[in-house]
């Protein structure tokens, strides 16, 4: 499946590039001297690429999309021979300094992980036009500089499948969604999930809470406890490291379920995890990095990945706790979404019109 997803994504990016042409540790970036230039160059084929990655406040070990991104760079290091580094941001004030340190230090490509970094990427890429950048989860408002490659995902499509699982598996007819911060991106998870529940169990109630942070597992645990106490028996989270607290609460109770996000998070609570909405940030980071190495960097373009491109998917470990008949229903809905028979809502307005 990974090979197939990678090949599909590679084909997508190759087309984009053709149009344009016509959790582990890492080394922290050091402050170098500025470099001059006016264009973002393609690297020489013989050059050993240096690729840097700046995390958002969740950190590189968030068990979520930052960690997945780093895994993609680690694969690039082992498979492509690049030199990979990361810098962790402790607050949003660190975004631009971290990006600057990599870009002005001769790094061939600097990644900003997460939509919270869109302003920083926009500012730094314009101030250093001879450096290449990549950003996950933002298209910079549709104004993508030629030295920036943007990758976004159809999170609502994968979240719909999580809603199907929750809607079919709930015993209390009450399920929950925990979001990190209430932004349009996270609302895609929410409304996709709610639509999936509605499709298979219109009588089920969906309780929604936003914690207001992606790096507060203690708060995630508190929110989960309140929701489980109210009768919710399944929670789907889209909250980064905050979601670790949801898993912790589910493990303590032992009679409720949790659905993970971004990575297959079943390792956090193997006996209490139904599924995870996997977002292949690792594949995106690796493939764009490989494109750069091949002289085909897709700058100035947005690549959008959904179920059809295998950019989002149901976790392969879902069959442990989800019955086969429910997974068959999930597969049926997945096919309808891929075929365009179902348009999954990603906003409140679209959800209100969803039937």
The pLDDT tens digits of the residues spanning 83-134 come to 999 999 999 999 999 999 999 999 999 999 999 999 999 999 999 999 999 9
Q: Residue 8 pLDDT more than 70?
A: no
Together in a domain, 183 and 199: yes
Residues 6+ apart with CB under 8 A from 339: none
The arithmetic mean of pLDDT across residues 160-184, rounded, is 98
pTM assigned to the model: 0.84
Q: Are 262 and 68 in contact (CB under 8 A)?
A: yes
User: CB of 120 within 8 A of CB of 95?
Assistant: yes
Q: Does residue 125 fall inside a structural domain?
A: yes
Q: Which two tokens stand for residue 19?
A: 């149009």
Is residue 292 located within the same domain as residue 202? no
Q: What confidence score (pLDDT) does residue 47 get?
A: 65
d(CA 45, CA 36): 22
Mean pLDDT (the chain) is: 89
Please tell me the predicted confidence (pLDDT) of residue 48.
85
- pLDDT over 70 at 270, yes or no: yes
Q: Residue 14: is its pLDDT beyond 60?
A: no
Tell me if 22 is assigned to some domain: yes
Predicted local distance difference test score (pLDDT) of residue 13: 41
The residues, ordered by sequence, that sit 6+ positions from 328 with a Cβ below 8 Å of its Cβ are none
Same domain flag for 29 and 147: yes
What is the mean predicted confidence (pLDDT) over 219-241? 97
When pLDDT is cut at 50, 70 and 90, the band that residue 43 belongs to is low
Total domains in the fold of the chain:
2
- The yes-or-no verdict on residue 20 having pLDDT over 60 is no
Q: What whole-number percentage of the chain has pLDDT above 90?
A: 85
- Determine the pLDDT at residue 355: 85
Q: Decide which of 251 and 41 is more confident.
A: 251
HEC assignment per residue over 222-253? HHHHHHHHCCCCEEEEECHHHHHHHHHHHHHH
Residue 144 sits in the same domain as residue 161? no
Residue 57 lies in a domain: yes
pLDDT at 191: 98
Please say if the pLDDT value at position 44 is more than 90.
Answer: no
Structure confidence at residue 215 as a pLDDT band (50, 70, 90): very high
| Whether 108 and 46 share a structural domain | yes
Question: Is residue 318 one of the residues assigned to a domain?
Answer: no
Which CATH number does the domain housing residue 21 bear?
3.40.50.2300
Q: Is residue 317 part of a domain?
A: no
Residues 229 and 289 in one domain: no
Edge-to-edge strands, sheet with 205-210: 205-210, 174-179, 234-238, 257-262, 273-279, 312-314
- Give the pLDDT band of residue 42 (cuts 50, 70, 90): low
Asked if pLDDT for residue 326 goes beyond 80, the answer is yes
Mean pLDDT value across residues 157-182: 98
- 6 and 143, same structural domain? yes
Structure-token match 């690796």, residue found: 286
Co-location of 134 and 159 in the same domain:
no
327 or 310: which carries more pLDDT confidence?
327
- Region 52-62: mean pLDDT is 94
Report the share of the chain in percent with pLDDT over 70.
Answer: 87
pLDDT at 12: 43
Query: Is there a single domain that holds both residue 272 and residue 239?
Result: yes
Please state, in angstroms and rounded to a whole number, the distance separating the CA atoms of residues 172 and 110. Answer: 47
Residues 132, 217 within the same domain:
no
3-state percent breakdown (helix, strand, coil) of the chain, nearest 5: 45, 20, 35
Alpha-helical (H) ranges within the chain are: 2-21, 65-80, 95-103, 118-127, 155-169, 184-200, 217-229, 244-253, 281-293, 324-338, 348-353
From the list 114, 101, 112, the residue with the least C-alpha distance to 147 is: 112
Q: What's the confidence (pLDDT) of residue 124?
A: 98
**Are 148 and 180 contained in the same domain?**
no
Q: Quick check: is 6 in a domain?
A: yes
Q: CA-to-CA distance for 257 and 304, rounded, in angstroms?
A: 31
Pairing of strands 132-136, 148-153: parallel
Q: In terms of residue numbers, what domain contains 241?
A: 155-278+323-353
* 315 belongs to a structural domain: no
Confirm whether 338 is domain-assigned. yes
The average pLDDT across 219-243 equals: 97
Residues 107 and 177 in one domain: no
């Amino acid at each position: 499946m990974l090979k197939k997803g990678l090949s599909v994504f590679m084909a997508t990016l190759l087309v984009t590039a053709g149009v344009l042409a016509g959790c582990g540790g890492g080394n922290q970036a050091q402050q170098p001297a500025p470099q001059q230039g006016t264009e973002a160059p393609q690297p020489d084929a013989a050059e050993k690429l240096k690729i840097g990655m700046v995390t958002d406040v969740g950190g590189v070990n968030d068990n979520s999309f930052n960690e997945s991104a780093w895994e993609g760079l680690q694969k690039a290091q082992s498979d492509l021979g690049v030199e990979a580094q990361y810098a962790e941001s402790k607050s949003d004030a660190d975004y631009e300094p971290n990006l600057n340190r990599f870009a002005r230090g001769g790094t061939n490509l600097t990644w900003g992980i997460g939509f919270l970094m869109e302003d920083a990427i926009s500012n730094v890429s314009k101030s250093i036009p001879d450096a290449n950048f990549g950003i996950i989860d933002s298209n910079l408002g549709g104004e993508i500089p030629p030295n920036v490659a943007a990758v976004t995902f159809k999170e609502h499509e994968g979240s719909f499948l999580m809603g199907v699982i929750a809607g079919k598996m709930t015993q209390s007819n009450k399920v929950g969604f925990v979001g990190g911060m209430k932004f349009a991106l996270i609302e895609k998870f929410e409304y996709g999930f709610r639509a999936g529940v509605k499709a298979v169990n219109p009588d089920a109630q969906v309780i929604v809470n936003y914690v207001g942070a992606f790096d507060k597992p203690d708060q995630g645990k508190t929110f989960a406890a309140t929701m489980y106490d109210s009768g919710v028996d399944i929670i789907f989270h889209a909250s980064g490291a905050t979601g670790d607290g949801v898993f912790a609460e589910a493990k303590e109770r032992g009679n409720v379920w949790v659905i993970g996000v971004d990575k297959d998070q079943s390792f956090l609570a193997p006996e209490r995890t139904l599924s995870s909405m996997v977002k292949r940030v690792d594949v995106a980071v690796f493939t764009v990095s490989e494109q750069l190495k091949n002289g085909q960097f897709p700058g100035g373009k947005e690549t959008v990945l959904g179920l059809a491109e295998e950019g989002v998917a149901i976790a392969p470990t879902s069959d442990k706790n989800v019955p086969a008949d429910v997974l068959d229903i999930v597969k049926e809905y997945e096919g309808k979404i891929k075929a365009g028979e179902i348009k999954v809502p990603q906003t409140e307005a679209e959800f209100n019109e969803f039937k």
